[in-house]
Amino acid sequence: MKKLETWMDRITNESNLWLNAIKMEDEGEYLKAFIFYLKDSSECIKQNSFVRAALSCSCAADCLAMDGNLAGARQLYLQTATLYENNAIQVIGNSVREALWSYQEAYEFYNLACENNKAQNIYEKYVSLSRKVNPFFGEKEAMESLRIRKSDQVPQSGIHTANMQVSADVDNAIKNFLSEIVATSDDKSNPHIFQRIFNKISEEKK
């Protein structure tokens, strides 16, 4: 009889993408961590766990920012914001509090992605929803709340990898990830791209 997997088994499992990502990030292996975070986000999206997917996507973006790839980071910050915005729309009928929180997250990441118009749109939605909960909630209160969150997250840039093949593979991984989100069938994505990048990065470390 097969033993049931417990939560402790899951967090100690070497195949746990999230834990492997954290481990790589702690060791300063930002590109490897990026791969694990992106794979984890992709798996979460397949399971309709959008908040968790957004978290992993933002961590993948942070890793690229730490490696100096700000262009790639902004693409993932944009997708993170989109995931949070979509989550707000989905949960608004059940939890206004979670919807407001999701809008806060979306506002933060749209700003990190340098998408000012989209951030402004989220700001307006946030104010509108807040006023329905509290008629005395005004733009000043909203701006103070969102401004604090915006200043919490500032991407740091390190030394961007000089290997052109690795850079191209990272770009392809991002494109593959984004296509998976909108794909209607598995054959629209390339599941082998992540392993290819991981191998390339490992070779560069030798």
Instruction: Determine, yes or no, domain membership for 15.
Output: no
Domain assignment present for residue 37? The answer is yes
**Residue linked to tokens 């993948």:** 60
Residue 16 maps to a domain:
no
Judge whether 63 and 93 are in contact, CB under 8 Å: no
- 81 token code pair: 């914001």
Please give the share of the chain, as a percent, with pLDDT higher than 90.
33
pLDDT recorded at residue 143: 60
Residue 190's pLDDT band, with cuts at 50, 70 and 90, is very low
Integer Cα distance of 80 and 59 in angstroms: 10
Round to whole Å and give the CA distance between 129 and 135: 10
Domain-embedded: residue 158:
no
Can you give the pLDDT at residue 173? Answer: 85
Query: Token pair of 126, please?
Result: 């946030």
For residue 63, what pLDDT is reported?
92
CA-closest candidate to residue 64, choices 25, 105, 97: 25
At residue 192 the predicted structure's pLDDT band, cuts being 50, 70 and 90, is very low
Q: Among 15-19, 102-106, 113-117, 122-126, where is mean pLDDT lowest?
A: 15-19
- Separation of alpha carbons 197 and 170, rounded Å: 7
Tally of structural domains, the chain: 1
pLDDT for the residue numbered 1? 57
How much is the pTM? Answer: 0.73
Q: Provide the residue range defining the domain that includes 94.
A: 27-150+164-205
Is 119 part of a structural domain of the chain?
Answer: yes
3-state helix vs strand vs coil in the chain, percent to 5 = 75, 0, 25
- The string of pLDDT tens digits covering residues 137-178 is 656 666 666 655 554 444 444 445 555 556 777 888 888 888
Predicted pLDDT of residue 135? 65
What is the average pLDDT across 97-122?
A: 93
Does any domain span residue 20? no
pLDDT at residue 35 tops 80: yes
Contact between 56 and 21 under an 8 Å Cβ cutoff? The reply is yes
Please compute the mean of the pLDDT values over residues 106-124 and round it to a whole number.
92
**What pLDDT shows up at residue 130?**
82
pLDDT single digits (tens) 78-96? 999 999 999 999 998 899 8
Task: Please report whether residue 131 resides in a domain.
Answer: yes
Rounded to whole angstroms, what are the CA distances from 65 to 25, 55, 61, 161, 175? Answer: 12, 15, 6, 12, 17
Could you tell me if residue 34 is inside a domain? yes
**Which amino acid is residue 119, in one-letter code?**
A
pLDDT for the residue numbered 13: 57
